[in-house]
Amino acid sequence: MAAGPMKMRATLVGGNTEVRVLMTHPMETGQRKDPTGKLVPMHFIQQVLVKVNGKVAIDSQVSQGVSRNPVFTFRLRGGAKGDRIEVSWVDNQGESNRTEAAIA
Amino acid sequence: MKLRSPRHARLFVLLGALALLAPAAAQDAKKEIERYQRMIAEGSPVELFELQGEELWRKPQGPRNVSLEKCDLGLGAGVLKGAYARLPRYFKDADRVMDLETRLLYCMVNLQGRSREEATKRVFGNADRQSEMELLSAYIAGRSRGVKMAPGMTHPKEKAAIELGRALFFHRAGPWDFSCASCHGEDGKRVRMQDLPVLYKPAYARPVVATWPAYRVSNSQFKTMQWRLNDCYRQMRMPEPNFASDATIALNLFLTATGRGEPYRGPGTKR
Amino acid sequence: MNKVRRLLLQGAGAVAAGLLAPLSALAAAWNKDAFGAKSAPDALKALGASDAAPSREVVIEAPEIAENGAVVPIEVTSGVRGTTALMVLVDHNPFPLIARFDFAAGALPFVKLNVKMGETSNVRAIAEAGGRHYAATKEIKVTIGGCGG
């Protein structure tokens, strides 16, 4: 199953960079039952990486306690227009996605 | 009343203080809920649905294998900026008042050559798979961000639809003898923690029409006005109205006309 | 072994190796013990953060009432000098540890995220700085809104 859309915006705010990333992911806890009464298996993002110009700036371990279709906001020290930001995730089923944007 | 002891006096003062606190506590609760609503809107995945809607808008479909990009939503073929804010309105080619979803259906049938049956097979989706109508609505509505709501109100059919909408709003029916006004017709009403807006009053209608369609965090679903109206009838234990029926369009126009002038805030995020 | 690493080594899934290789090399291992802990104290123990002391420098910004527990917006900032990680816990969740964020020099100790809350509970934010831990808590009431529609 292809990962759903992901969107990220990196903007300069007061000398620092604010990174807001939207992810499509069911973040299933493994406790929910589908309409037939069957338990939907655990399916959630486990790792999120934020890279600046190729270097890891934030390394996140995430669990099923994060809401469905996660939205994270991070802040980076400094930053300049055009710096390359990359956000990527991997989930517990080995699926992944990534997106890139330049600081605007 | 004679206070028997200092202990009674203290109790009395405490009760008095609590009585004064109650309205203040209710105000605090309201403030915190507003803060919740603001914070979920700021951290909302709603843009993802707009992106998916844009893809669908550009996707060639149907027997004619064309996209919806030439669809006229009222401001000209393919003009999207501000189009949602001018709906519902009368369309000459269809000789009918239409809301967004009705107009999209019209374009699916007339531009793409699709059958009404196929295009309406699954108008309301779910968290795992949103419907075409829902995603398209997100995208098109998003293109009216900041534009003042100004639905059609001058054409005779628009005027008739508003009157029909108003009549439906107050018409009591069904096993509970409910109308929209049963919940949305009186100040100070609430369902659990939800304040119920008095929707025939502009002050209440304005923020409502400025935030639909919307993402519902409670079930992670993006929902449209057609769904909202349908679900209200279901909750009133009345038969669910047909998709894009005159009744739903009339209600939608009545509500939007009542909320006119409000700058559209973009697809909303709600509990 | 970390489940993700196991999958990577098995080459499972339709995942491009080039995409994941950097992740596996640099990413911290997913702390199974901490995320599997069923109480906040157990999670803190597995995080090595049982020493967490209350600090005004760690700030949780969140509404006191959430209309729905499925999405509760939380913002955490740490003013403690040298903060290298933030952890977020919801005490009464079946698994209290929600997430852990490790910050390299280029990042600020700040995060905003949406968490799930099963019921009214304390939310805990822990900052890690210089091997020590600093905590803040905030109670958030969870209500069930509206007609359920």
At residue B77 the predicted structure's pLDDT band, cuts being 50, 70 and 90, is very high
C118 touches chain B (CB under 8 A): no
Asked if the structure places residue A1 within a domain, the reply is no
Tell which C residues from 43 to 62 touch A, by Cβ distance under 8 Å.
Answer: none
Q: Give the minimum alpha-carbon distance from B65 to chain C in angstroms, rounded to a whole number.
A: 31
pLDDT digits (tens, 9 = 90+) for B120-150: 999 999 998 999 999 999 999 999 999 999 9
Assign B38 a pLDDT band (cuts: 50, 70, 90).
very high
Would you state the pLDDT for residue A35?
Answer: 84
Contact check, Cβ <8 Å, C97/A55: no
> 110-129 in B: which are within 8 Å (CB) of C?
none
Mean pLDDT score, B254-258: 98
Q: Please indicate whether, in this complex, the C-beta atoms of A22 and B48 are within 8 angstroms of each other.
A: yes
d(CA B73, CA B89): 9
Residues 117-136 of C with CB under 8 A from A: none
Region B64-86: mean pLDDT is 98
Q: pLDDT of C106-125, one tens digit each?
A: 999 999 999 999 999 999 99
User: Which DSSP string do the residues of B210-265 spell out, in sequence order?
Assistant: TT-SEEETTTTEEE-HHHHHHHHHHHTTSPPPPTT-HHHHHHHHHHHHHTTTPBP-
CB contact under 8 A, A68 and B220: yes
**How far apart (Å, rounded) are the C-alpha atoms in residues A79 and A104?**
10
Nearest CB to C73 within list B40, B192, B220: B40
Computed over every residue of chain C, the mean pLDDT equals: 85
Q: Does A32 touch chain B (CB under 8 A)?
A: no
Residue B131: both structure tokens together: 């419907």
Q: Contact C108/A56, CB-based, under 8 Å?
A: no
Least Cα separation, residue C118 to chain B (angstroms): 12
- The three-state secondary structure class of C107 is strand
Count of residues for chain B?
271
Q: A61: which 2 tokens?
A: 């371990």
Residue C70 and residue B218: Cβ atoms within 8 Å? yes
Angle C3-10/C17-26 helices, nearest 10 degrees?
140
CA-based nearest residue in chain A for residue C89: A65
Any chains having at least 3 CB pairs less than 8 A from chain B are A, C
CA distance A59 to chain C (A): 5
Q: Is the pLDDT of residue C33 over 80?
A: yes
pLDDT tens figures, C70-106: 999 999 999 999 999 999 999 999 999 999 999 999 9
Which among B44, B48, B128 has the least Cβ separation from residue A5?
A: B48
Res B60: pLDDT: 98
> Does residue B220 belong to the interface with chain C, where contact is any CB pair within 8 Å?
yes
Mean pLDDT over C54-71 rounds to: 96
DSSP states of B153-172: -SSHHHHHHHHHHHHHHH--
pLDDT band at C19 (very low <50, low <70, confident <90, very high): very low
**Comparing C-alpha atoms, which of B244, B136, B243, B228 is closest to residue B183?**
B228
Q: What is the pLDDT of residue B22?
A: 66
Give Rg (Cα) of chain C.
Answer: 17
**Amino acid B27: pLDDT:** 80
Count of other CB atoms within 10 angstroms of residue B22: 9
Instruction: Tell me the shortest Cα–Cα distance from C48 to chain B, in angstroms.
Output: 30
Q: Torsion angle, CA of C41/A29/A43/A101, rounded to 10 degrees?
A: -70
Say what angle helices B246-258 and B225-235 make with each other, to 10 degrees.
Answer: 110
Residue spans per domain, chain B: 7-43, 44-270
Summarised one tens digit per residue, pLDDT across range B3-35 is 556 666 565 555 554 445 567 787 888 899 999
Q: How many domains does chain A have?
A: 1
Mutation target for C interface from A42, A59, A83: give the one with most C CBs within 10 A.
A59
Q: What is the mean pLDDT of residues C1-12?
A: 47
> Over 80: is that where the pLDDT of B196 sits?
yes
Q: Which chains touch A (3 or more CB pairs under 8 A)?
A: B, C
Cβ C3–A55 below 8 Å, yes or no?
Answer: no
Report pLDDT for B191: 84
A30 touches chain B (CB under 8 A): no
What is the token pair recorded at A92? 């517990």
- The fold for domain C33-142 equals Immunoglobulin-like (2.60.40)
**Catalytic site residues of B?**
232
Domain with A10 in it: 6-102
Strands C65-66 and C132-142: parallel
- Please list, in sequence order, all residues whose beta carbon lies within 8 angstroms of the beta carbon of residue C19, skipping any fewer than 6 positions away: A88, A96, A98
Q: Which residues of chain C have a CB within 8 Å of the CB of B40?
A: 71, 73, 114
Q: Check B45 against A22: CB less than 8 A apart.
A: yes
* pLDDT for residue B14: 52
Contact B127 A26 (CB under 8 A): yes
Q: Determine if the pTM surpasses 0.80.
A: yes
Q: Which stretches of chain A score pLDDT less than 70?
A: 1-2
Mean pLDDT of C121-143: 97
pLDDT value for B98 = 98
Nearest CA to CA, how far is B12 from chain A (Å)? 45
- Would you kindly state where each structural domain of chain C is located, as residue ranges? 1-30, 33-142
Superfamily name with CATH number, domain B44-270: Cytochrome c-like domain (1.10.760.10)
Q: Rounded to the nearest 5°, which phi and psi values hold at C51? A: -80, 0
Residue C16: is its pLDDT beyond 70? no
d(CA C71, CA A65): 10
User: What is the residue whose two structure tokens read 């009744």?
Assistant: B247
| pLDDT at res. C7 | 44
Percent of chain B with pLDDT over 90: 85
CB-based contact B44 A73, cutoff 8 Å:
no
CATH of the domain at A27: 2.60.40.10
